[in-house]
Structure 1
Amino acid sequence: MAVVVASLGRPELIRQFCDLMARQTSSPDMLLFSVVGDDDIPAGLEEDARVRVIRGDKGLCAQRNRALDWLDDRFDIVAFYDDDFVPSKFSIESIRAFFAAHPQVAGATGTVLADGINGAGICFDEALRIVQEHEGRRFAPNCIVRELWGLYGCNMAYRSTAIGRNRFDERLRLYAWQEDIDFAASVGTNGRIVKTFAFSGVHRGVKLGRTPGIRLGYSQVINPSYLVRKGTMSRRFAARLMLRNLVANHIKALRPEPWVDRAGRAKGNWIGLLDLIRGRITPERIEML
């Protein structure tokens, strides 16, 4: 089993993630960090047979693809974590057990106990407290909860044989909003895509290093439209996703949260809508905004 973490400009989170992997009841066979440059890595991080760092172009999809190419077919299971995810200490052990028990599953997402992505974020100590409290309950049934169309990218694992030559779509640049839905839909042709209680953790939603509002707002319109045209997202889901974000950005722009650039997101929404009307479905334009 390999664990992949793509990161940019957040070396402290990589240091914390190494500590979290050290407390696992079962260690991954490979912990692979895909970064852009040396500044992304904490001082003193030592590479060995089980920990490696690879460097290259920035962008979540490009960084994850670089990891998949490096791993090739040498590992049976590949788990993807965000650098600000705090997994339960039983996660690696449970992922192994889950895929062994469910051979028809191509990919699975675990249980997110708390998610700071839509709030101010969750500090590391609080995230660890939530995880440890959950561990004390020992509630991690090795079961399939339900079928999914896509997985949550902060906390997902795939069978390598199901991934095959599938890769993340690098037209979804930078933060690559909805890349997890697209990738899961592609891999899902080779097996079931599911949610499970078997492994879990907390997504902190750290704001440092995230996409500026105008860029994310543009992606909120153009990326779903692009995935509908590509066939990896349904029209209904895309319309609901776009409408929800459009409404939230414009209403909350009147009294924005301190941690969200609502005005920038609303502006990006309108640029995306105008491009959509013109028939310009170009997710890579995010880099020019």
Structure 2
Amino acid sequence: MPFERYPGRTDLRIAVGIATTGRRRILHSVVPHLLDQSRLADCIVICAADRDDVDADALGALLDRTRIVFAERGLCRQRNRILQDMEDVDILLFLDDDFLIAPNYLEETVRIFRSYPDVVMSTGTVDADGILGPGIPLEDGLRIIRSHSKTTPTGREKQVYSGYGCNMAVRLSTVRGYGLRFDENLPLYGWLEDVDFSRQLARHGRIVSSERLHGVHLGTKSGRTSGLRLGYSQIANPVYLMSKKTMSPRHAAPQIMRNLVANAVKFIRPEPWVDRRGRLLGNMRAVGDLVRGRLSPRNVTVLE
């Protein structure tokens, strides 16, 4: 059943889609802040892997515009399930469950897609990214976000190779028209699923990063894939994407080398929040499978 439009609205309709797994606490802390937007979402779809991942009653005032759906665990599977519920929407903004957006984010996203008909994906400027460190407390993230509510949006859009999966909006007429989907051969965390989907869309229009869209990625560590599995994906997934031509060797090879070097160099004195031993072991398992001709992204599902 399509979502009901706002009465009298003729502008582009925008939805927010959030896939979540095992992160109930951060989901319920972050999602209510979508009510702070200067232009509210026409609908919100949360796709969980388990009924314990989300509590409808905790959504409060958001409940009347929110749909909760379920899919088997896996970022690509869950995002594809969200796409199924977008019958009456023009723009879909995919957000991680630990990503905070500035109060004008949705309004500015609509402006970009309305102003540039050739834009098929937009992604924002991440003012702080907890993935690169131990994570950012919610209150610190909100403090950064609130600073943008006091300023006039400035900046421009520039063409980029891919969106950043924690905050990327897509033009659904293009997604529907070409039958595009996230590749479910990238299981679980779906490492580089954003690059793969971006490059599918890039065949049909421009991907832009905007300095007018701001957000904070809290980088919450709970519920993420193991170091061993991530390390395997760091090799297997870019090799797979090169084979299907959604990632060029020029982009894939440096990324593979960066991860290999980082895991090897930091193995002796790892960061407390990173399982460098597991990642390096996963890298080595993947290299071994590559040599033996057995490399596949799906192998992570049987790693222990």
Indicate the TM-score class for this superposition, using the shorter chain for normalisation: over 0.9
Q: Structure 1 stretch 33-42 or stretch 179-188: which is displaced more?
A: 33-42
Cα distance in 1 for residues equivalent to 2:227 and 2:109: 35
Q: CA deviation at 1:17?
A: 2.7
What's 1:60 paired with? 75
> Are residue 24 (structure 1) and residue 44 (structure 2) matched?
no
TM-score (norm 1): 0.96
Alpha-carbon displacement from aligned partner over 1:177-230 (angstroms, at most 9, x marks no partner): 000000010011111011111211100110001111000000000000000001
Contact 1:14 1:42 in 2 (8 A): no
Q: CA deviation at 1:140?
A: 3.5
> Are residue 124 (structure 1) and residue 138 (structure 2) matched?
yes
Q: Which runs of 5+ in 2 are unaligned?
A: 1-13
Runs of 4 or more consecutive aligned structure 1 residues displaced over 3 Å after TM superposition? 45-49
> Are residue 191 (structure 1) and residue 205 (structure 2) matched?
yes
Cα distance in 1 for residues equivalent to 2:81 and 2:73: 10
What's 1:153 paired with? 165
Q: CA deviation at 1:48?
A: 4.8
What's 2:128 paired with? 114
- In structure 2, the residue corresponding to 1:253 is in which secondary structure? coil
Q: CA deviation at 1:124?
A: 0.4
Cα distance in 1 for residues equivalent to 2:268 and 2:73: 33
What's 1:37 paired with? 50
Cα distance in 1 for residues equivalent to 2:151 and 2:107: 17
Q: CA deviation at 1:137?
A: 3.2
Q: Which runs of 5+ in 1 are unaligned?
A: none
Cα distance in 1 for residues equivalent to 2:74 and 2:286: 20
> Are residue 238 (structure 1) and residue 261 (structure 2) matched?
no
Contact 2:31 2:97 in 1 (8 A): no
Superposition pairs of residues 1-289 of structure 1, within 5 angstroms: 1-42=14-55, 44-45=57-58, 48-72=63-87, 74-141=88-155, 143-144=156-157, 146-164=158-176, 165-289=179-303
TM-score (norm 2): 0.91
Contact 2:20 2:48 in 1 (8 A): yes
Contact 1:149 1:185 in 2 (8 A): yes
Counterpart AA for 1:147: Q
Cα distance in 2 for residues equivalent to 1:87 and 1:27: 12
Q: Percent identity?
A: 42
Q: CA deviation at 1:33?
A: 0.2
Cα distance in 2 for residues equivalent to 1:228 and 1:196: 27
Alpha-carbon displacement from aligned partner over 1:218-274 (angstroms, at most 9, x marks no partner): 000000000000100010211100000000001101001111100000000000111
Cα distance in 2 for residues equivalent to 1:185 and 1:108: 13
Counterpart AA for 2:281: K
Cα distance in 1 for residues equivalent to 2:106 and 2:132: 27
Cα distance in 2 for residues equivalent to 1:56 and 1:192: 30
Contact 2:102 2:146 in 1 (8 A): yes
Counterpart AA for 2:299: R
Contact 1:80 1:157 in 2 (8 A): yes
Alpha-carbon displacement from aligned partner over 1:53-102 (angstroms, at most 9, x marks no partner): 00120100000000101224x21000000000010011111111111111
Counterpart AA for 2:33: L
Contact 1:12 1:42 in 2 (8 A): no
Counterpart AA for 1:168: F
Q: CA deviation at 1:38?
A: 1.5
Cα distance in 1 for residues equivalent to 2:70 and 2:196: 24
Contact 2:123 2:163 in 1 (8 A): yes
